[in-house]
A and B are shown apart, each in its own frame.
Chain A
Amino acid sequence: MLAGVVVLLVGAVSASAVPQDPPPLPSKWTHLFQQEHRDALHWWNHTWLPQTVPSGAVVQIQLPGDPIRWVHDENRKCTPTTPLGLALPILDLFQFVRPEFLGQNKLPDPNRIDGTENIYTFDYRLDGIGVAAICLFPEPRPGTAYEISMPPGTPTDRYVLTLLVGVPQASLPLRRPHEDMGSTPSHDWFGPSRH
């Protein structure tokens, strides 16, 4: 597992170090997070790892709330979560990226999740290369994690989302450079059609 983390982190740094010219991210291409993305939730079984986002990513966090309110507060301490439950503060090796708070909103959400009435949304922009942590704070602090739609054992003082910033957004299969749409007839992918 540790090897995996090292590979990921080294990969993140290497990938961000390679000269790339990714297309700019339009605002509609938001990375959407909600309560299940909170760091190191109980059901990750100690295998949680932070995910990557590109530099310039717009991030929205949606959390069920009311009567518990969620608050953005830059004055409170917010530190990244160490992956895999390790004591070694491995993320301290990285530069810290400060999230830019863009705004917040609330969506109606009665009867979807027990004990909550609305969805609080918080928007951020992340620029640079390194580790970012975004914290949101429930007020008043709930007595149980259930009240903020979290699994048992989740700390009730905050929602924290740790991200590795500066890795270009990618998925498999990787795009080939200058790949030309339609230049490869579909049937060439697998040989002649069998019907």
Chain B
Amino acid sequence: MVLNRRGFLGAVGAAAAAGLASSSSGLTDLVLADGGRGAAGEQLRELPFLRSEGGLLDVGLTIHPQRLQIGDREVFVHTYNGMLPGPGLRFRPGDKLRINLINNMLPLGVPLNAPPPACAVRPPEEEDAPPLEPPPHPLECIPEMINHIAEGETVIQMNMTTNIHTHGLQVSPNDPADNIFLKLSPGHSHQYEYEIPDDHPAGLFWYHPHHHGSTTHQSWEGLTAPMIVEGDIDEVPELADIADRTIVLSTLWINQDGSTPSAVIIPTGGQMPFTTVPAVPTEMLFLMNGQLGPEIDIRPGETQRWRVLNSDPHEFMWFEVKDHELYQIGQDGIPFGTPRTVRSIMLPPANRAELVIRGGQPGRYRVIGKAYDQGHPGGARPEKELGTLVVAGPPANGRIPQRLVEPPKMPDLPVAAHREFRFKGDISGRRGLGVRFWIDGVAFDPDRIDTRVRAGTVEEWTWINEDIFQHPIHVHVNPFQVIDVQGISEGDTSWQTDPNIWWDTFRLPPFGRVTIRTYFRPDIPGRNVYPSKTVYHCHILHHEDNGMMGVLLIDPPEGRS
């Protein structure tokens, strides 16, 4: 389902005016309340998209609490415009994207089991910091506590502060574009504006909150939405006229009131990978397009295009459709030259895969996230039931494309710099409440430049993992190719290491290392004149929120600064 902005917002306004309960329109249900209304086994819903017109897509996004029914669960979480996932956006290379973001968040999910740990010491910002000093008198923490409240830095306040990141888009990271340093408190709004380059790859991207300290919480509330850049690959004959599904995998982490707990998060093993301080009972819901266990219809022999996003902040999704091959046509929004046939596709947090699937023999086939040991405490994360592929109806004769499009090429330039980065964390709790994750021994500091590069150059970066956790590392506004991977565990068949694939997020093997090659484009609007400040970080967002993020400064091309 693709709606233009006028039609889409008109539907929302009409629905609000008429009152939700009185409407019988499927669209109204979809927009305002439905995160999967009804019993499990319902049809996978098609996500509504807003599409650019005349080179412009101008949208308003309001984050506000919304009560939703998901399967037999009632949840009460923050959403974009009342929707889970948020409204999809479609535009073309050369377009302008404008987003007016309004933050109307409230304190949800604040546990009343104990007062917030206002005076507890957090783990140190530096990996080699000395052991904890004997604590001062508790009264000495009061000025610091007051300062934290004034700065909006308590956990509850942080979890209501937001901004937006257009994940994967090759745009300026400076305000008013993809500026993730922005701090948008409740009651405030911000006007974003993005110039999409004329040669931007066509594929699946997404947007989500990126305020340091609250990205995990807001992701577990379901604040995520797809973006599609349309372009050349859409014209491939075998793809042009087939069903085009966007599938957003997400996870809601909820307490018994249906809200995401707003408290300090710490890891656990077993079925539930996290708990809080104070501890509250919780549940995780693994969703496709906001639904629990939906059914996806396909005819025998029919081909469909699936654009799959894992927006979960933590869980790796090793995506598989039983007894069906998948023909991958793109990764992280950048198309391939030819399809790659796979049985399953690993989607760590933030990764996207674009696929063609052809219906097999009539029947019902499980769509799952396979069990996988991503390094989390307690061993392999369990298998997840995501949905069911239902093959039925008259046979069709869908064709798998043999050729796609010309993928972007790495410029043939000498490597201007080789750099190394070390990734390590401490989840023990020995040095303070919570966890801490570092890059090169230090936690994120928005006022410190960790890496400075120049636009128009090629660099090679080696990421060294000193953890068993498989950190999926994301570089903002700048895709890369992976030229070497060391340390893949024996028998682990989930890896794709073809150096021709472009990524914006790539995981590090346990205690392994990955070398990437990247080109800092000098021609991005805004980036070609001014220094551009952005970040790279682990996309297990719990690691990012607790320090595993570095600041990247991209200077303008030689002769332009």
> Footprint of B on A, CB under 8 Å?
1, 4, 8, 23, 25, 28-37, 41-47, 49-53, 57, 60, 62, 64, 84, 107-114, 119, 121, 145-146, 149-153, 167, 169-173, 175, 181-190, 192-195
* CB–CB B270/A62 < 8 A: yes
Chain A positions within 8 Å of B113 at CB level: 51-53, 167, 169
* CB–CB A34/B32 < 8 A: no
* CB–CB B257/A43 < 8 A: no
Query: What are 26 A-B contacts defined by CB distance under 8 Å?
Result: A1-B138, A29-B282, A30-B281, A33-B275, A36-B434, A45-B138, A47-B118, A50-B114, A53-B113, A62-B268, A84-B138, A112-B375, A112-B427, A121-B270, A149-B430, A150-B429, A152-B430, A169-B113, A171-B108, A172-B112, A173-B108, A182-B20, A182-B21, A182-B33, A185-B20, A189-B64
Q: Which residue of B lies closest to A29 (CB)?
A: B281
Chain B positions within 8 Å of A119 at CB level: 269-270, 377-378
Chain B positions within 8 Å of A170 at CB level: 111-112, 257
* CB–CB A193/B12 < 8 A: yes
Tell me the dominant secondary structure on chain A's binding face.
Answer: loop
Give per-residue flags for B89-126: 1 if the beta carbon is below 8 A from chain A beta carbons, else 0: 00000000000101010111111111101111100000
* CB–CB B74/A43 < 8 A: no
List 8 A-B pairs, minimum CB-CB distance, nearest first: A195-B60, A29-B281, A36-B429, A32-B275, A51-B278, A51-B114, A172-B110, A43-B121
Is B184 in the interface zone, CB < 8 Å from A? Answer: no
Q: Which residue of B lies closest to A114 (CB)?
A: B428
- Given contacts A36-B429, A195-B59, A109 and B378 within 8 Å (CB-CB): yes
Chain B positions within 8 Å of A172 at CB level: 107-110, 112
Q: Which chain B residues in 264-281 approach chain A with CB under 8 Å?
A: 266-272, 275, 277-281
A81 to B113, CA, bound (A): 17
Assign chain B's interface to a size class: 35 or more
Give per-residue flags for B351-385: 1 if the beta carbon is below 8 A from chain A beta carbons, else 0: 00000000000000000000000010111000000
B502 to chain A, nearest CB (A): 31
Which of A8, A44, A108, A189 has a CB less than 8 Å from the CB of B104?
A: A189
Chain A positions within 8 Å of B21 at CB level: 182-183
Which of B131, B189, B259 has a CB less than 8 Å from the CB of A171?
A: B259
A113 to B115, CA, bound (A): 28
Chain A positions within 8 Å of B277 at CB level: 36-37
Q: Which residue of A lies closest to B136 (CB)?
A: A45
A116 to B64, CA, bound (A): 43
B116 to chain A, nearest CB (A): 10
Give per-residue flags for B462-488: 1 if the beta carbon is below 8 A from chain A beta carbons, else 0: 000001110000000000000000000
A69 to chain B, nearest CB (A): 17
Could you say which of B65-73, B220-228, B444-452, B489-497 contacts chain A?
B65-73
* CB–CB A152/B428 < 8 A: no
A52 to B113, CA, bound (A): 5
With A32-B272, A152-B430 given, can you name 16 additional A-B contacts, CB distance below 8 Å?
A: A23-B256, A32-B268, A34-B268, A36-B266, A47-B120, A47-B138, A49-B115, A110-B468, A112-B375, A113-B428, A172-B112, A173-B107, A183-B20, A185-B20, A185-B32, A186-B32
* CB–CB A194/B428 < 8 A: no
- Given contacts A43-B135, A181-B67, A113 and B427 within 8 Å (CB-CB): yes
Chain B positions within 8 Å of A36 at CB level: 266, 277, 429, 433-434
- Given contacts A107-B378, A181-B74, A189-B64, A46 and B135 within 8 Å (CB-CB): yes
A43 to chain B, nearest CB (A): 4
Chain B positions within 8 Å of A46 at CB level: 119, 135, 137-138
B30 to chain A, nearest CB (A): 13
Chain B positions within 8 Å of A35 at CB level: 428-429
Q: Which residue of A lies closest to B264 (CB)?
A: A36
* CB–CB B279/A51 < 8 A: yes
* CB–CB B427/A185 < 8 A: no
* CB–CB B430/A150 < 8 A: yes
- Given contacts A107-B378, A185-B19, A169 and B256 within 8 Å (CB-CB): yes
* CB–CB A171/B16 < 8 A: no
- Given contacts A171-B280, A187-B16, A146 and B468 within 8 Å (CB-CB): no
* CB–CB A149/B120 < 8 A: no
Is B392 in the interface zone, CB < 8 Å from A? Answer: no
Chain A positions within 8 Å of B189 at CB level: 194
Which of B33, B62, B272 has a CB less than 8 Å from the CB of A195?
A: B62
Give per-residue flags for B423-438: 1 if the beta carbon is below 8 A from chain A beta carbons, else 0: 0000111111110000
B186 to chain A, nearest CB (A): 10
A184 to B280, CA, bound (A): 27
Is B550 in the interface zone, CB < 8 Å from A? Answer: no
Chain B positions within 8 Å of A84 at CB level: 138
Is B556 in the interface zone, CB < 8 Å from A? Answer: no
Chain B positions within 8 Å of A50 at CB level: 114
Is B9 in the interface zone, CB < 8 Å from A? Answer: yes
Choose among A112, A170, A171 the residue with the greatest number of B CB atoms under 10 Å from its CB. A171
* CB–CB B279/A37 < 8 A: yes
Chain A positions within 8 Å of B427 at CB level: 112-113
- Given contacts A4-B115, A47-B120, A146 and B16 within 8 Å (CB-CB): no
- Given contacts A46-B138, A112-B377, A169-B113, A194 and B60 within 8 Å (CB-CB): yes
B252 to chain A, nearest CB (A): 15
Chain A positions within 8 Å of B79 at CB level: 186
A173 to chain B, nearest CB (A): 7
A32 to B378, CA, bound (A): 14
Chain B positions within 8 Å of A30 at CB level: 272, 281
Q: Which residue of A lies closest to B263 (CB)?
A: A171
Is B255 in the interface zone, CB < 8 Å from A? Answer: yes
A37 to B268, CA, bound (A): 12
